[in-house]
Amino acid sequence: MRNRSAAVMSFFSGLLILFSLSAATQSTSFPESWVGNWKGELLWYTVAGTEPKKVSMKLRIRQGDSINKYSWQLIYGNTGEDNRPYTLIAKDTGKTHWVIDENNGIVLDQYLIGNKLCGAFTVQASTIINNYWLEGGQLFVEFYSFSAKPLSTSGKGDAETPFVDSYQMKGYQKAVLTRQ
C-alpha cells in the first residue's frame, strides 16, 4: 500500500511539473507573449558623441487577422511624429522565420534565434542589425549601424589566412520598454 501511495504521489508531482513547464513555455512564446503596448526611451549613441540622443519610443504589438500575422507599430517621439505601422508575418510553420512588412514595398526578414527576434538589412550606405527580446518582463531593443562597404580588408586570401573585411561602425541604439 505504501508503494502505491508513493507511486501516485510521484505521478501527480510529475504532472504538476509538466503543467508548470507548459505554462512557462506558453508565457514566453513568441509573439503571443509579446502582444501589448510597450513604452520607453531609445538611447542613440554615435561614434562622434559621448552623450546619447534620447528619443521616446513605443512599440505596439497586436494580434492581426490570423495567427500568423501581427500589427507591429513603432512610434518615435513624444507626440508620435514618427509613426511606423508595420506588419509582422510568420513565413514558416515553425515560426522561426518572420518578416516585418513596412507596407510600402519594403519587407525585412527576421529570425527567431533563441529568445531573440533578429534581422539585418542594408539601406543606402548603411547596414543595420536589429535584436528584440523579452527579459524580466521588459522588452529590449538594439540596433547596430555600420557602413555597408568595408573600411578595410586584411589577410592573405588563402586557406590559412582568409581575407577579412572590417566595417566602420556608425551607431548603436538601445531601449528598454515596459508594458503599459
Q: What is the pLDDT of residue 9?
A: 41
Confidence of residue 25 (pLDDT cuts 50, 70, 90): very low
Q: What is the pLDDT of residue 49?
A: 74
Return d(Cα 129, Cα 110) in angstroms, integer.
10
Residue 112 belongs to what domain range? 31-179
Q: Assess whether 8 and 43 both reside in one domain.
A: no
Q: Assess whether 86 and 21 both reside in one domain.
A: no
CATH number at residue 140: 2.40.128.20
- Measured at the alpha carbon of residue 162, what is the angle toward residues 129 and 120, in degrees to the nearest 5? 10
Q: For 111-138, give one letter per residue: b (16+ CB within 10 A) or e.
A: ebeeebbbbebeeeebbbebbbbbeeee
Q: Assess whether 92 and 121 both reside in one domain.
A: yes
Q: Assess whether 97 and 120 both reside in one domain.
A: yes
> Which tens digit of pLDDT belongs to each residue from 123-160?
999 999 999 999 999 999 999 999 999 999 999 999 99
Q: What is the average per-residue pLDDT within 9-32?
A: 48
Task: Provide Rg for the chain, Cα atoms.
Answer: 22
State the total domains in the chain. 2
Q: Assess whether 8 and 79 both reside in one domain.
A: no
Q: What is the pLDDT of residue 28?
A: 57
Q: Assess whether 67 and 154 both reside in one domain.
A: yes
Cell matching residue 142: 538594439
Q: What is the pLDDT of residue 50?
A: 80
User: Does a cis peptide bond (omega within 30 degrees of 0) precede residue 85?
Assistant: no
